[in-house]
A and B are shown apart, each in its own frame.
Chain A
């Protein structure tokens, strides 16, 4: 992000605790318009909590989140719903609606968020399915009939269907084999570039992080401890980042069983 430019997303001093478990501690992060930022960190370090606070599924205990300079924390339900329409979130396991066909899943946001007629929404949904490499025949299938990779593609199609200007990806390659993971990464890159959207991805898959991100931020102990260009992550000079990137057992990161 160029200095002086107003960030698209600005997170300041964000705190979130569950009882005595302080998951986020004065977390600061920003993402510029059209930028792809990847947050890396171990399991249970609060990456998903960060994304849930960002999209309004959880209310932070303190701190602010701004979107184009306007705060999006502490809003009423109606105000939050209006802001939510600008976000698209790809859930870790897809979160496709079991009771709806693939086509209805992809068209869902077009009908509910944008109020478009069902027939028109289905035509757009077919286009989005094609965009993620799925043909028309998949449209009539149900999520339970799809493989893990196909479910991710459908979920991605649903995420981009409403053409949001902020895309959030929660562990997009988790549970996929390396080839399928690479395909999803390429699709994410393509969709983000085509939409010109700002993307925030959380992952612990380093290959994926380097492919998707313009910048990478490391979350540890509830704080962002390092931020830098994606191509600099292998030589960050930060012991925590080095240990995580190279997957070493020995180092400053101690394994701890966490609930979140």
Chain B
């Protein structure tokens, strides 16, 4: 076998996969803004993503905020900068950890579930049945999930930010001995609207990516249980990687000088 041909074939397959994904994304977005809309399905997905993900996102950000306070304190103590702990916690949570951790948690919980549900529908011909009943599967299955992802993630991240900062506050005040008033003052002193807004923009982008990858891999699921299993894995892995890549891109847009 010619190794160059193998590399070339792999590269062409990669490009074809990118092309399929871009077409799927463009079609999905176009169906998000064109009627008919399915508000009941959208509401159900918002509850599924936004409400039922609250415990996992809350716990993740709570402990991340606590660890961040502890690590910052022990690190900053080396050059007598312990006073910056509250500021570091709030900036790290709102700008980075809140959106990224919430995105990754939702990718694991919702991306997998979307891929499995839509993949099973594909395997059992339910998606074909939708088409035969004059219902566009992009409109009925994909568009409400993508809209719900974009709507729900910023809400989740906002709540996660508050819980994460609260985690830092608990460790700062009750373990590290900071004065409660001073800690809160330091928390808000250097926090600017752009810090929170950039996190919420990231959250919306991550919500889009998680729902898109869940729907895409489910929609293109292979046959049988193995196909659905592979779709689920691919949805979580690809969404997680894209979240980290997009995180860098959006951070560059907001904060590069």
Please choose the segment from B86-94, B125-133, B186-194 that sits at the chain A interface, where 4 or more of its residues have CB less than 8 A away.
Answer: B125-133
Question: Beta-carbon contacts of A36-54 to B below 8 Å, as 1s and 0s?
Answer: 0000000000000000100
Complex interface bits, A78-97 against B, C-beta within 8 A gives 1, otherwise 0: 00010011011101110111
Q: Is B251 an interface residue (CB 8 A)?
A: no
**Chain A 93-132 interface mask (CB, 8 Å, partner B; 1/0):** 1011110000000001100110000000000000000000
Query: Cβ of B132 and Cβ of A55 under 8 Å apart?
Result: yes
CB contacts (< 8 Å) of B126 on chain A: these are: 95-98
Q: Are B132's CB and A84's CB within 8 A?
A: yes
Q: Is the CB of B128 within 8 A of A81?
A: no
A254 within 8 A of B: no
- For B96-137 the 0/1 string (1 means CB < 8 A from A) is 000000000000000000000000110011101111111110
Question: Roughly how many angstroms separate A254 CA and B126 CA in the complex, as a whole number?
Answer: 33
Please name all residues of chain A whose beta carbon is closer than 8 Å to the beta carbon of B136 when the two chains form the complex.
77, 81
Whether A85 contacts B134 in the complex (CB less than 8 A), given A93-B124, A95-B124, comes out as yes
Interface presence of A179 (CB below 8 A): no
Q: Which residues of B contact A95 (CB under 8 A)?
A: 124-126, 128-129
A109-B124 contact given A95-B129, A97-B129, CB 8 Å threshold: no
Nearest A residue to B133 via CB reads A109
* Complex: A85 Cα to B124 Cα, angstroms: 21
Most B Cβ at <10 Å: residue of A88, A89, A158: A89
Q: Which residues of chain B come closer than 8 Å to A96, judged between CB atoms?
A: 126, 129
A55 nearest in chain B by CB position: B132
List the A side residues contacting B134 at CB < 8 Å.
Answer: 81, 84-85, 109, 112-113
CB pair A87–B129 under 8 Å, yes or no, is no
Nearest CB in chain A: distance from B222 CB, A: 13
Q: Specify which chain B residues have a CB less than 8 angstroms from the CB of A56 in the assembled complex.
A: 131
Q: What separation, in Å, do the CA atoms of A97 and B126 have in the docked complex?
A: 6
Tell me the count of chain B residues lying within 8 A, CB to CB, of chain A. Answer: 14
* Contact call A57/B131, Cβ cutoff below 8 A: yes
Contacting residues, chain A, for B131 (C-beta < 8 A): 56-57, 84
Give A109 Cβ to nearest chain B Cβ, in Å.
Answer: 4
- Which residues 110-168 in B have Cβ within 8 Å of A in the complex? 120-121, 124-126, 128-136
The residue of chain A having its C-beta at the shortest distance from the C-beta of B132 within the complex is A89
Find the A residue at minimum CB distance from B120.
Answer: A98
Q: Give a binary string over B1-40; 1 marks a CB under 8 Å from any A CB, 0 the rest.
A: 0000000000000000000000000000000000000000
Q: Which residues of A contact B121 (CB under 8 A)?
A: 97-98
- List chain A residues, Cβ under 8 A from B130: 97
- Knowing A93-B124, A95-B124, say if A112 contacts B135 (CB, 8 Å): yes
Interface residues of A in 16-68 (CB under 8 A from B): 52, 55-57
| Residues in B whose Cβ lies below 8 Å from that of A93 | 124-125
Q: Chain B's nearest CB lies how many Å from the CB of A107?
A: 11
Closest Cβ–Cβ distance, residue A183 to chain B (whole Å): 22
Residues of B participating in the A interface, judged by any CB pair closer than 8 Å: 120-121, 124-126, 128-136
Binding site for B on A (CB under 8 A): 52, 55-57, 77, 81, 84-85, 87-89, 91-93, 95-98, 108-109, 112-113, 158, 162
- Contacts A89-B129, A93-B125, A113-B135 given; 17 further ones with Cβ under 8 A? A52-B128, A56-B131, A84-B132, A84-B134, A91-B125, A91-B128, A91-B129, A95-B124, A95-B126, A95-B128, A95-B129, A98-B124, A109-B133, A109-B134, A112-B135, A113-B133, A113-B134
18 contacts between A and B (CB under 8 A): A56-B131, A57-B131, A57-B132, A77-B136, A81-B134, A84-B134, A87-B132, A92-B125, A93-B124, A95-B125, A95-B128, A95-B129, A97-B121, A98-B120, A108-B135, A109-B133, A113-B134, A158-B133
